[in-house]
A = this chain, B = another copy of it.
Amino acid sequence: MSTVSPPENLEKDPRVKAVFDDIRATRKVDTLNNLWLYLAATPDLLEEVWQGVKVVMATESALDAKTKEMIYIAVSIANSCSYCIHSHTAAARAKGMSAEEHADLLRVVSLAGRTNHLLNGLQVPVDAAFDQDAS
């Protein structure tokens, strides 16, 4: 049950087809995740979102692909986005995340959740030493 419905004959729209082809080629997959199907109702948004994901997640950058997926999971957990947690856990596994690394990720994420709440409760002043000019 979602707030929009994907259009029929999704790929009849050439803009949708172009994005879908690019996703399949970039990710070397045949099947697209539901997100893309539901976004096809609004080609502008589909193009923008895929472009944003592609440039950050499917392009070589300072961090490796597996680490980027694990960071994505961490944010998605803190934001309670169920779809995102599922899709990026699957993606991280596809990029090599082991069961041990997944468990370690969850340990760090939940520890951060704990101290985030503790520090928000204490309202401790930020140390002068953390200032970027002193780093």
- Residues on A lying within 8 angstroms of B by beta carbon are 1-5, 31, 33-35, 38-39, 41-42, 44-45, 48-49, 52-53, 55-57, 61-63, 67-68, 70-90, 93, 98-127, 129-133, 135
Residue of B nearest to A33 (CB): B127
CA distance A107 to B58 in the complex (A): 13
Q: List 27 A-B contacts (CB under 8 A).
A: A1-B123, A2-B132, A3-B85, A3-B86, A35-B119, A35-B122, A39-B122, A41-B99, A44-B107, A52-B111, A53-B111, A62-B101, A63-B70, A63-B105, A63-B108, A72-B108, A74-B74, A74-B75, A75-B75, A75-B113, A77-B120, A78-B79, A81-B116, A84-B115, A86-B130, A89-B130, A113-B113
